[in-house]
A and B are shown apart, each in its own frame.
Chain A
Amino acid sequence: MTLTLELNAVTRSYGRIKAVDGISFSAGPGEVIALVGHNGAGKTTLMKLMLGLARPSAGSIAVLGQDPAAGDAAVRRRLGYLPETVSFHPALTGRETLRFYARLKRGRPGEEGALLERLGLTHAADRRIGTYSKGMRQRLGLAQAMIGTPAVLLLDEPTTGLDPELRQQFYVIVREMRAAGATVLLSSHALNELEGHIDRVVILNRGHKIADGSLDALRHIARLPARLRLRTAQGGAQDLRAWMGETARFRHVNGDIVEFDATPGDKAAFLRRLATAGAPFEDIDIVPPGFDELYAHFLGEEASR
């Protein structure tokens, strides 16, 4: 498999501050990767480096096999980018703007119409962008990133400003781009919404990479407890506790709901006990650790190091 993105010990310093410090990772076609971190963790700098708008102080980057700073036109045509705060000239219409970008990229004639349609902007295509809502501008930004069916998509905070419905539409488009063989790199801090939409997560903190892997793999490494929530018959919480015998780790949510945190090992043992006859509960929910908790875990680990 040929890699579409390759970063090798990339460092970028501004004065004495290292915005990006020794980051390596790579990605292949059909991979969706989330770049996650606080503001100032180095996400945008990393995007700029991959776009060739900034040069690394040390290390090397290859995008589609080329150094992005060389500005090779053939590579640029296969690259889509959505900036964090996308802005267009307010006096031009959506169609005019998209046509301009499509021509710059030598897109197919009429491609702008198809993209406007796909992102549900046809009704507003001939209105000035000044009249667009934030969500519409974001969709127009996404439309320009998709011109020419790019092989690499770099999306900086793509879902900010989108309402939940549009957010779902956005992830449908990401899935389609992935199916077409594109590498999609998106940065975000809305972690929980990423679940189920991405193949891999790269967690950044102050310019360092602190974790890299699929969500499942990271959960496995972190060994965070899952939350088990048991519901009993009316007022049965006391009985349940008596039956369980271990009172210390239980939390009463109310009269008939009891929760406790179980590490992966505990969980299996506990479920086996629950399966025996006579366990005084009616329903059980198992909540795996969320992305937010996972992120907090890795950050905490980094801080204690």
Chain B
Amino acid sequence: MKTVFLLASKEVREGSRNRWVVAATGLLAALALTLTFLGSAPTGTVGAHPLDVVVISLASLTIFIVPLIALLISHDAIVGEIERGTMMLLLSYPVRRRQVLLGKFLGHIAILAFATCIGYGLAGAVLAVGGQAADAASWAAFLTMTASSVLLGAVFVAIGYLVSVLVSDRGTAGGIAVAVWLLFVVLYDMALLGLLVADQGRFVNGGVLAALLLFNPADSYRLLNLTGSDGIAAASGMAGTVRDAAPPPAVLLAALAVWVAAPMALAALAFSRREL
């Protein structure tokens, strides 16, 4: 455990030195603050609370940004160190390969968690100082959104490692990382939409659709945050039948957890077999 902690803290230190932490935190904070100021303007008398609007818009943006950041920091983690020759040296030490993977994972998650909490926390603080009272449910939704954003990041960090362990050079890892991002964030939903239109409700009922959404971590995250509370579900147009058909939050969280564990386990297996 001490070894894993050592590896994780080295990863955090490297990340803060080469400005990954600063860049990610800055990006997330800038987006969150922009959405907070824009998002609190047009609500008027519609009845949606500004905090709910911010949660909806931030969650929608997180789906694009956080997986991208996670893949950027993770795709290079293994293959990059192998190419630079640092992995051979590290593995000549009393270190197991799964400890290397786990240590890097914890370090990268710490970086992502820091960036997300600071970035989104700043937006939350601005709203709280702005004096608009929000109910506990809205704040709970905000906290859920922040925490699940880190979880979404963890999913893509794990997928990034799997890519990094399997390929033989950094360029390929980068290419595949971009493809993974496109697939889960853009193409999957378009394909699903196409399927629904073509199917005309003959085979794909609510249950099948819910299952299909669980196969994409980005969709699980979206459902978790947009159907989480009554106010948000109403404001995001997810109330009613949509919300009834969506899997309950526990199932969505479990799906995200599996999306972390499965790629990590596969990456550990592939890494243990890989020769340097």
Contact = CB atoms under 8 A, between A and B. Distances in A.
Contacts, number: 60
Interface string A139-156: 000001000000000100
A79 B3 contact: no
A296 interface: no
A79 B86 CA distance: 17
B243 to A, nearest CB: 47
Interface size class of B (residues with CB under 8 A): 20 to 34
A170 to B, nearest CB: 18
B14 A89 contact: yes
A144 B6 CA distance: 16
B85 A92 contact: no
Nearest to A103: B6
B41 interface: no
Interface of A: 48, 51, 53-55, 71, 73-74, 76-77, 79, 81, 83-89, 91-92, 96, 100-101, 103-106, 144, 154
A51 B88 CA distance: 9
Interface string B85-106: 1101101111110000000000
B89 A144 contact: yes
Contacts of A73: 94
Nearest to A53: B276
Which of B85, B92, B96, B275 has the most A CB atoms < 10 Å from its CB? Answer: B92
A216 to B, nearest CB: 33
Nearest to A144: B89
Nearest to A96: B13
Interface of B: 3, 6, 10, 13-14, 17-18, 84-86, 88-89, 91-96, 275-276
Contacts of B85: 83-87
B89 A83 contact: yes
B6 A81 contact: no
Given A83-B85, A87-B84, A105-B94, 15 more contacts: A48-B276, A51-B92, A53-B88, A53-B92, A55-B275, A71-B96, A79-B92, A81-B89, A85-B85, A91-B17, A91-B18, A100-B10, A103-B6, A104-B6, A104-B93
Contacts of A91: 14, 17-18
A206 to B, nearest CB: 21
